[in-house]
Amino acid sequence: MAAIDNIVLTALENIVGPNRVLTGTEDLQRYGCDWTRVYTPNPAAVVLPDSIEQVQHIVRLAAREGLAIVPSGGRTGLSGGAVASNGELVLALDRLNYIEDFSSIDRTVRCGAGVVTEQLQQHAMEHGLFYPVDFASSGSSQIGGNVSTNAGGIKVIRHGMTRDWVAGLKVVNGTGELLDLNRGLVKNNAGYDLRQLVIGAEGTLGVVVEATMRLTTPPQESAVLVLGAPDMTSIMHVLRTYQDSIELNAFEFFSELALQKVVEHQGLQRPFETPTEFYALLEFEQRDEKVMEQAMALFEHCLEKGWVLDGVVSQSLAQAESLWRLREDISETISRWTPYKNDISTVISRVPEFLTAVEAVVSENYPQFEIIWFGHIGDGNVHLNVLKPDDLSMKDFQQHCTEVSKWVFDIVQHYGGSISAEHGVGLLKKDYLPYSRSELEVSIMRQIKKVFDPHSIMNPGKIFDI
């Protein structure tokens, strides 16, 4: 790809204004990376458009000049999907942050790509509705990035992924043309649904500039249960027991070592004194007293069966929030150890044997590594976190983790799972895409990209190489 010369910089300034093209070192470092912190950011420039028309002009200019574009949202990704490390132009969508056309009848609202997830959640609340896709980075992630990575989070077991809430999508493709996809329709069987192709494509097919998002009825007051279990098989028995009787908002899990780290470094209290191998966190709506009575009866049943050794239920909103922190604060807590992170998945019923196989191979080869497990086990998604020992250099740790990845993805392939349950492929996992996708599937993906992006300027090098 061509470097950006002064003529191109001037042309960009003519499109967005002189203060909206950034070339300073601090700006390039800030906008050129995501949360992976594995790659050295090296963009040529950052441009901040404030309209869809400006995005179109930028893309057309980039196509003429053979200039690669990396779309940038909240930069909270964990796969390197928003990294610009090869002299690309970062197209930051922060200024496309409008929320318009709320409809109480359709229960939809139109958002610019730069709207922060928490803003959408707050806007829905102000209108007596609810946007249910939620995760730890909701205060900084943007809707365009959520769509591009098909973000999931903690309520997937009930509310699904981002793609389930996208009613319409506007996308600028690799030639600068604007695609207006689905236009908010509930039923639309007129040919291929290109909207769903773009969702989760990590910006490789085009720039998501606007999304019409669905909203729903707010939940009633929720209760949170944290239960201690002796093993993962017991956790799965608990999941089945509660799912058969109560509609769950969330079903999360975390390991004893994860709990120890959070309690030690976040100033939180253990949920109960009994240490157990794993913990399940359940959330459900208290629609009436019978629901809580049923939840407690199920708890007693699980105790009798030996699937649960101890537990606690929230008695107030404040206590519910504190119990959630035991799970939600894990990522922030362990970041000080620069962990090797992997979000992997298989079908829900095979999670225990899947997790056991992964932990066995890592522990056998690297017994000095601490392993932190947590995840959205209600949808088959587990997060493997291997902490870097203090006395091991980052270079050596990353080399060891490359070996770990190969072993882990061999197991993923054996169980018919995914190398990326929700974080995307990006740069970090593209070498391992064949573990989850067949050669034919990848070939079709490449052909689709050529149709959307004939000049190969849209986030090149992410997911696969052309």
Quick one: pLDDT at residue 1? 42
Q: For 155-166, how does the pLDDT look when each residue is reduced to its tens digit (9 = 90+)?
A: 999 999 999 999
pLDDT for the residue 338: 87
Q: Is position 1 within any domain?
A: no
For residue 238, the surrounding DSSP H or E stretch is: helix 232-243
Give the mean pLDDT of the chain: 95
In DSSP notation, 156-191 reads: HHHH--GGGGEEEEEEEETTSPEEEESTT-S---SS
Are residues 393 and 359 both part of a single domain?
yes
Instruction: Give domain status of residue 201, yes or no.
Output: yes
| Same structural domain, 262 and 347 | no
Residue 123 and residue 131: Cα distance in Å, rounded?
9
Looking at residue 2, its pLDDT comes to 43
Q: What is the pLDDT of residues 270-286, one digit of tens each?
A: 999 999 999 999 999 99
pLDDT of residue 292: 95
Considering the domain architecture, whether residues 388 and 417 belong to the same structural domain is answered as yes
Q: Are residues 103 and 207 in the same domain?
A: yes
Mind listing the pLDDT tens digit for each residue in 373-405?
999 988 999 999 999 999 999 999 989 999 999
Q: Is residue 451 part of a domain?
A: no
Residue 3: predicted pLDDT: 61
State the CATH number of the domain containing residue 91. Answer: 3.30.43.10
Q: Which segments within 123-247 are labelled E, that is strand?
A: 166-173, 178-181, 206-214, 222-229
- Say how many residues make up the chain: 466
- Written as one letter, the residue type at 256 is E
Do 245 and 210 sit in the same domain of this protein? no
Do residues 133 and 207 share a domain? yes
Q: Is 310 in the same domain as 349?
A: no
Contact 176, 155 (CB under 8 A): no
CATH of the domain at 415: 3.30.70.2740
Residue 28: inside a domain: yes
> Across the beta sheet with 21-22, what order do the strands follow?
21-22, 45-47, 89-92, 69-72
Neighbours of 407 (CB within 10 A): 16
CA dihedral 197, 198, 199, 204 (to 10 degrees): 120
Does the residue 454 lie in any domain?
no
Tell whether 105 and 206 lie within a shared domain. yes
User: What pLDDT was estimated at residue 4?
Assistant: 83
End-to-end CA distance of the chain: 13
Using DSSP's 3-state secondary structure scheme, residue 406 falls into helix
Residues of the chain with pLDDT under 70: 1-3
Structural domain of 29:
6-95
| Final residue of a structural domain among 331, 350, 369 | 331
3-state SS, residue 294? helix
Collapsed DSSP state (helix, strand, coil) of residue 460: coil
Instruction: Say yes or no: 105 and 90 in one domain.
Output: no
Asked if 81 and 28 sit in the same domain, the reply is yes
pTM: 0.93
Interstrand relation of 89-92 and 69-72 (parallel, antiparallel or unpaired): parallel
User: Which among 188, 214, 240 is the end of a domain?
Assistant: 214
Q: What is the CATH number of the domain that holds 303?
A: 3.30.70.2190
310 vs 303: CA distance, rounded Å:
8
* Residue 276 to residues 255, 271, 299, 404, Cα–Cα distance (Å): 8, 11, 16, 26
Q: Is residue 448 part of a domain?
A: no
Is residue 243 a part of any domain in this protein?
Answer: yes
Say if residue 290 is in the same domain as residue 204.
no
Same domain, 210 and 113: yes
* Residue 414, in any domain of the structure: yes
Provide the number of structural domains found in the chain. 4
- Look at residues 282, 308, 331 and tell me which one is the last residue of a structural domain: 331
